[in-house]
Structure 1
Amino acid sequence: MPYRRCGASGLRLPAISLGLWHNFGDAADPARQREIVRTAFDLGVTAFDLANNYGPPPGSAESSFGRILAQDLRPYRDEIVVSTKAGYTMWPGPYGDWGSRKYLVASLDQSLDRMGLEYVDIFYHHRPDPATPLEETMAALDHIVRSGRALYVGVSNYTGEQTRLAASELRRLGTPCIVNQSRYNMFVRKAESDLLPVLEQEGIGGIAFSPLAQGLLTDRYLGSALPGDSRAAGNSAFLRTEHLTEDSLRVARALHAIAEGGGQSLAQLALRWVLRQPAVTSALIGASKPAQVLDAVLAARMPALDAGEVEAIEGILRRDA
């Protein structure tokens, strides 16, 4: 597994990280959850990404991961990076959402309890809060590090300018912002002009979530029939049938032809395309089976895309723009 330095920090992260956004709630098979995490760790995926509201229900992904930690990974705590977040709705009332100091500290204490940990390696503010002063939110992150609850802090879903302001305030407080986690894939490219240049300028590592566009950039939907057990067939909140437009499927099939010509899967091509960016430290994948983790890890071991491959991909994406 290649490991990359996270911005200007001393922390190195695997090129592929495992997110527990999907498939780790109470309805999922605990044995399958355990198999996915164990496979990931055995393949060198040392970074596991959570949030307080992951499930469903909220909190259940952290509880599931806590059980796996206790069963399998406790002896290896110093060889893994555990991250969690707070910023979306977690509990009703005025103190369970957004970015107040009260919410962030209380939420992280609950997360640590669910996972059975004394600290997380990275704690993120999950989304900008238009009502709470940025200074308060960043002061809460600074307090969280100084209190020993987290080793590092970062932000998620912040624009380039919001990231610059957050990094400046954290720098003033003495706790650097080392990482930004944002959506980035072949279909969602705003980060290239808005965020990635800021990350390079500020010395902040980038984590690309949804690098496979919730499955659109895999071999899953290339056929004429919708797979019955797929996320889209279940009308998931993350990928609905209306997302599978003629244009998006046409692009995916054209990209698949490039991937096939290079002896790789479409998912591997999509991951290599994200990882080509200097500002991207790690691509954050989800998985419903261990084989998907292996496929992603193999992509990380492949050479960087060459200029010809990038130009061919860009030609397809430009025609779709």
Structure 2
Amino acid sequence: MELRQLGTTGMRVSELGLGTMTWGRDTDEIDAAEQFRDFLDAGGTLIDTSASYADGASEEVVGSLLTEVRREDVVICTKAGVRSTSRGNMLDASRGAVLGSLDASLQRLGTDHVDLFLVQNPDPRTPLEETLSALQRAVDSGRARYVGLSNHAAWQQARAATLLEQAGLELAAVEMEYSLLERGVEREVVPAALALGSGLVAWSPLGRGVLTGKYRRTIPADSRAASTHLSGFVQPYLDQESSAIVEAVAIAAEGLGRSVLEVSLAWLRARPGVSSALVGARTPGQLRTSLAALDLELPPEVGAALDEVSAPATGYPERR
């Protein structure tokens, strides 16, 4: 597996990352361990988790597996900024919440530092300056090697990069949803990341599972779309517009003798600025299917055709 530079930093990450959102809930420890080993055997290094995934259970599973490898052989990314309360999850990127979340994450992961620490979502009630002071403290204390943002707008990226630079740090990464079904980041986020030197880590590169092609005819009983707690996550891409894109990918896949999933991942891996694409497989078999896509490079004419059929709507000021 290719190792790519994370933006303009000295960190290198695998072109596919292992997403663990389902670990500790839909993926048990046995299947998680098999995924972990298969991923590392394929040359993968980036393991992505969050304090909010399965209320911390995902980090606990990751932590149990870190005992099987040398710590320096893996790149651990975790996130803070979503706090569990008696009334449900709430955004909280205050200094105390972010640093407290990091301490709890390190305990669950069984390590003294994470390689990449991200703020998971914007918190409109907390000044960005306060949130960034927490990220600076995380690096200064040795608890995080690099920091970044997830699901933030381009102006927030630019402001964060400016403030971090004043502290002698860089905005190492931005983690955003990006796939053939969600290309909104191309309007401002990707150009900002390229200009600022931030690596782009793409989550849900398979369109929340829709770009596997399994929803073309029906909703499988064992799929996320049929799950009580994940159906709402998939539903936005079960519309006519997304279906038309999936069918175009299916035509391209048939012509290449590959699967819809493989073509979708190959398209994303070739996009400018993408350092890593996070594959959040529920089962070991699903992960192996994604790993099989690593040898595919799309012919230019196929890539151009998919660009055209999935092009995001643009307007002023991106286009005049």
Q: TM-score, normalised by structure 1?
A: 0.91
- Distance across 2 between alignment mates of 1:239 and 1:109: 29
Superposition RMSD on alpha carbons, in Å?
2.2
Give the SS at the match of 1:78: helix
Alpha-carbon distance in 1 for matches of 2:63, 2:36: 12
For the structure 1 residues 68 and 133, does the alpha-carbon distance in structure 2 shift closer, same or farther, using more than 3 Å as the test? same
For 1:273-288, list aligned pairs within 5 A.
273-288=267-282
Does the Cα contact within 8 Å between 1:62 and 1:114 map onto a contact in 2?
Answer: yes
Deviations 1:151-197 (A, max 9, x none): 11111001111101111111111121110000111111111111111
Following the alignment from structure 1 to structure 2, what is the Cα–Cα distance between the partners of residues 191 and 209?
12
Q: Counterpart of 2:17 in structure 1: which amino acid?
A: S
1:190 paired with 2:189, answer: no
Q: 2: distance between equivalents of 1:96 and 1:174?
A: 31
Equivalent of residue 312 in structure 1, options 294, 305, 310: 305
**Distance across 1 between alignment mates of 2:93 and 2:206:** 29
Structure 1 contact 167–176 (Cα < 8 Å) conserved: yes
- 1:60 pairs with one of 33, 57, 80: 57
Q: In the alignment, is the contact (CA less than 8 A) between 1:83 and 1:121 conserved in 2?
A: yes
Measure the CA separation in 2 of the matches of 1:314 and 1:133: 37
Q: Residue by residue, what CA displacement relative to the aligned partner does 1:75-113 show, whole Å, maximum 9, x if unpaired?
A: x211100010001123459x9742111001110000011
**8 Å contact from structure 2 (residues 27, 283) kept in 1:** no
Query: Are 1:116 and 2:110 matched, yes or no?
Result: yes
The 1-side partners of 2:146 and 2:313 are apart by: 39
Letter in 2 for 1:219: G
Alignment partner of 1:207: what SS? strand
Using structure 2 for the length normalisation, give the TM-score.
Answer: 0.91
Unaligned ranges ≥5, structure 2? 315-320
Aligned to 1:232, the other structure's residue is in SS state: helix
Which residue is equivalent to 1:31? 30
CA contact (8 A) 1:268 1:299 kept: yes
Counterpart secondary structure, 2:65:
helix
CA distance in 2, matches of 1:286, 1:230: 13
Q: Which residue of 2 aligns with 1:225?
A: 218
Instruction: Name the residue aligned to 1:297.
Output: 291
Alpha-carbon contact 1:233-1:241 (below 8 Å) kept: no
Q: How does 1:136-215 map to 2 (within 5 A)?
A: 136-215=130-209
**Preserved contact between residue 91 and residue 123 of structure 2 (Cα < 8 Å):** no
Q: Alignment partner of 1:148: what SS?
A: coil
Q: Report the AA paired with residue 21 of structure 1.
A: M
Amino acid at match of 1:87: G
Contact 1:83-1:123 within 8 A present in 2 as well? yes
In structure 2, C-alpha distance between the alignment counterparts of 1:113 and 1:249, rounded to whole Å: 43
Aligned to 2:318: none
Aligned partners of 1:17, 1:182: CA distance in 2, in Å? 13
Which amino acid is 1:33 matched to? Answer: A
Partner of residue 216, structure 1: 210
Q: Structure 1 residues 227-236 or 200-209, which shifts more?
A: 227-236
Q: Secondary structure at the match of 1:201?
A: helix
Match of 1:234 in 2: 227
Shift of the 3–28 alpha-carbon distance from structure 1 to 2, 3 Å rule, reads closer
Stretch of structure 1 that moved more, 59-68 or 311-320 = 311-320
Runs in 1 of length 4+ with deviation above 6 angstroms?
Answer: none
